[in-house]
A and B are shown apart, each in its own frame.
Chain A
Amino acid sequence: MASFLVSRDDWSLHRKGYIDQQRHQEKVRDAIRDNLADIVSEESIIMSDGNKIIKVPIRSLQEYRFRFDPGQGEHAGQGQGDTQPGQVLGTEPGPGPGKGGAGAGSEPGFDYYEAEITLDELADMIFEDLRLPHLKDKRAEDLENISYYFNDIRRAGLMGNLDRKRTLLANLRRNAMHGQAGIGGISREDMRFKTWIESRQAHTNAVILAMMDTSGSMGNFEKYIARSFFFWMVRFLRSKYERVKVVFIAHHTQAKEVTEEEFFTRGESGGTRCSSAYQLALKIIEERYPPHDYNIYPFHFSDGDNLPSDNDLCVSLVQKLLEVTNMVGYGEISGPFYRGSSLMQSFRRVKDPRFVTVTIKDKTDVYPALQKFFSEKELA
């Protein structure tokens, strides 16, 4: 006779699935780390609004094996009745607008493994290798200031710091102990006072002067690159400084301060004079951000298509900027066909190690650019 047993065990210690899931997560992390160059400029991240879980495509976590090409050949399916040849069962979403780049077309869309990660975790990974170079130590003292925190309650203190709510509560309790409900007869022993502690803290401020060429030659791609760079730059500096401000300066032949939105969306036509942006930057520094209070990071993006007569002026202005800032960056976005521009050539003359130039040809160059800009370097 067959027997049927029904039992119930305590499974609470059976963690196997979770342990291997953890290991899988670790592998996902590793894969993300290996693919940072691709992920840094991922559209879904740059355009995301802050603290949420984002999905990043990873290509290296598939369990590869010899398999038939799912995109080729015929498969069997089942309809609800009376299906006719030619009927469309479904359509694969086409490649997303930001997915471009090499090889995306030749791979079927379902080859991605999408990992979920919070923006903060991702930022930690990206910033792991980044350092804040050229920090001037003397500033720490200059910027140290004293602040007060009320964080303690005592029975004695200044009458001005009386904590009314706690005092009333203490009174209520005392009355209750004597069997009376309600407030009344507040005496000295009910009184509670707030007390403060002093804290000395260095206030660190940083300003990013984001400058961008908005002349006709800067297309959407160039703006997108600049955007992803500034996105991470702001996030990185926020992790190092208490306050990070960003000033957006757009320029063509003239420079002006604009809002973030205008900065990334507005396009102008006409020629380019980069010196105008540098002049405005110097003016803003002088008026609003005294160098001994602020760590200043000007960074300029352009396609390098500058008026040749303007180049010498740019070089001398960059040198002036270097005197008042922590470091100066120049990123040239050259698109897929690199021409080598005259502005970049002129900048070769600037020998200061705090002047960093990067050339960006496609999305994957954003991460190396960040690394180049924020890498540990000795101050010359």
Chain B
Amino acid sequence: MDELLELERAAEEIGTLAAGFGLESGGIQFELCPADIIYTFGAYGMPTRFAHWSFGKQFYRLKTQYDYNLSRIYELVINSDPCQAFLLEGNSLVQNKLVMAHVLAHSDFFRHNWHFRFTDRKNILEVMALHAARMREYEAAHGRREVEIFLDACLALQEHINPYPWLARTKEEESKSEPPPTGYDDLWVLDRRETKGPAPAASRKNPPRPEKDLLGFVMENGYQLEDWQRDIIAMIREEMRYFWPQIETKIMNEGWATFWHTRILRELDLPEAEAVEYAKLQGQLLQPSFMVLNPYLVGVRIFEDIEKRWDEAPEAGHGREKLFEVREIESDMSFLRNYLTKDLVSELDLYLYKRVGSSWVVTEKKWEKVRDTLVQSLNNGGFPYIEVLDGDYGHRGELYLKHLFEGRPLDVLYVERTLPYVYLLWGRPVHLETVADGKTTLFSYDGKKNSRQVIGEG
């Protein structure tokens, strides 16, 4: 039988089953393509994304692993409307059935999880294609090298944005004078007295409050930036906003997809050979890995546990209902914080480890400690939380950044290599306050050299 026809038939069957389970995938466009294309999209994150050598590096790495049979991307799905999913040419039918069922659940997740609410799924492919086209124009106008250097800097800082619109403070909000009077205003006064002491707040301080959106701040206030450069910053920022919810729901999303593909495949009447192959695949997919968490495994176990517990709960039989609620409102952080139980930690044999000398040693098995450390490591997408404190530091137009230290020190070498990128965007000396070796330290870059200065204890 024609391969495409066979796949389409499988898709219909799986789609019907999925709909029966209550998943709303909204249709999916499957594309059968060769390995190097899948790996290209895997490296770029998007079929239409702009060109940059770092994607090439990633592509080469992925492709090499595939060529040497070290790892394999089975599924790749783009959060667009309708979702685009890619099937690897040469995969067996049962492999592709698994991928289809898996992808279907991803699509359901994209459509319903709250964190994706502001993703422009309809247009994202075109938006990225337009970005790529504009970058090519800039390359033509200003030189490839020039654009590349600038992109290097932008990409180095791409995580430092405000990922969700509701976190961003609008200009109007800032200029709003006083909130309307209420009967409880005397409570605010209590608060105010405290802050009055040190600084009566310089009236035109920029930013007025610490600003997380470093890229945005630099885009608006950077010295010497040309229009095309501001445009590139804006594009990188927008693309990062698209990717951010995916970063923050990795465990959930994979867990959800695995949960459902398992149930869907169970319903399919697989011939014996296919069933064995499927079991092998499932086994590979759900292998624990001892240095990082396998999101498929941890995610699916938590979902299964939720269903079980809510089925058994006093008002029994609400398992499924609860599942759909969880997939709608949580992100990885809250998902783990709320649903990673003591039993699960021990059942999954989760632990904490750290580096002692040149070895990695298991240090902790207490479930609350494990859970909390895990949750904390997911904060801000797993990236250091950095804010702009002052855009006119020392009244010299210098940029003052502060890393909100939460117990995990920054990689000092990387700080010193990244600051020059900030300098490139800002155009004047830049500073980053963080805690290094237990002391509050200010790292600076003035356009020529790095320096550091201890400015306080811890």
Contacts and interface: CB of A to CB of B under 8 A. Distances in A.
Interface of A: 2-9, 11, 14, 16-27, 61-94, 107, 111
B37 A11 contact: yes
3 closest A-B pairs by CB: A20-B56, A17-B40, A4-B11
Given A65-B156, A75-B352, A88-B360, A107 B413 contact: yes
A24 B56 contact: yes
A94 B358 CA distance: 7
B349 A76 contact: no
A327 to B, nearest CB: 39
Contacts of A18: 36, 56, 59
A91 B156 CA distance: 30
Contacts of A62: 414, 417
B159 A75 contact: no
Nearest to A7: B31
A25 B19 CA distance: 47
B290 interface: yes
B293 A86 contact: no
A23 B53 contact: yes
Given A17-B36, A69-B409, A76-B352, A89 B414 contact: no
Given A78-B289, A94-B358, A2 B351 contact: no
Dominant SS among interface residues on chain B: mixed
Interface string B408-441: 1111111101100100000000001000000000
Contacts of B414: 62, 64-67
Interface in B351-399: 351-355, 358-365, 370, 373-374, 377, 383-384, 386
Contacts of B148: 23
B29 A7 contact: yes
9 contacts: A4-B12, A14-B40, A17-B39, A20-B59, A24-B53, A77-B350, A79-B351, A80-B288, A85-B364
Interface string B35-48: 01101100110000
Contact of B359 (A25, A74, A90): A90
Nearest to B40: A17
A77 B293 contact: yes
B26 A2 contact: yes
A78 B348 contact: yes
B355 A21 contact: no
B316 interface: no
Contacts of B54: 24, 63
B297 interface: yes
Contacts of A6: 4, 7-8, 11, 30-32, 87
Which of B57, B293, B365 is most buried by chain A, counting CB atoms within 10 A of its CB?
B57
Nearest to B29: A5
B56 A89 contact: no
B48 to A, nearest CB: 10
Contacts of B362: 77, 79, 83-89
Nearest to A82: B349
A67 B384 contact: yes
Nearest to A107: B413
Which of A11, A27, A77, A87 is most buried by chain B, counting CB atoms within 10 A of its CB?
A77
Contacts, number: 237
Interface in B16-40: 19, 24-34, 36-37, 39-40
B358 A92 contact: yes
Given A14-B40, A17-B40, A111-B413, A9 B289 contact: no
A76 B51 contact: no
A69 B410 contact: yes
B353 A75 contact: yes
Contact of A20 (B53, B353, B354, B360): B53
B365 A74 contact: no
B55 interface: yes
Given A7-B4, A88-B361, A66 B29 contact: no
Given A21-B59, A64-B156, A14 B53 contact: no
B159 A65 contact: yes
Contacts of A86: 361-363
B56 A4 contact: no
Contacts of B412: 69
B442 interface: no
A32 B412 CA distance: 24
A258 to B, nearest CB: 40
B358 A8 contact: no
A210 B407 CA distance: 58
Interface in B113-159: 148, 155-159
Contacts of B373: 74, 76
A113 to B, nearest CB: 9
B30 A75 contact: no
B347 to A, nearest CB: 9
Given A17-B40, A64-B414, A73-B408, A78 B53 contact: no
Contact of B351 (A8, A67, A83, A92): A83
Interface string B239-272: 0000000000000000000000000000000000
B190 to A, nearest CB: 36
B15 interface: yes
Contacts of B25: 2
Given A4-B30, A68-B408, A81 B349 contact: yes
A85 B351 contact: yes
Contacts of A77: 289-293, 350-353, 362
A11 B86 CA distance: 12
A22 B51 CA distance: 11
B298 interface: yes
Contacts of A91: 358-360
B60 A21 contact: yes
A84 B100 CA distance: 39
B349 A80 contact: yes
Contacts of B349: 78-83
B413 to A, nearest CB: 6
Contacts of A23: 51, 53, 56, 148
A207 B51 CA distance: 50
Nearest to B7: A6
Contact of B352 (A17, A20, A25, A74): A74
Interface in B49-74: 51-57, 59-60, 63
Interface string B70-101: 00000000000010000100000000000010
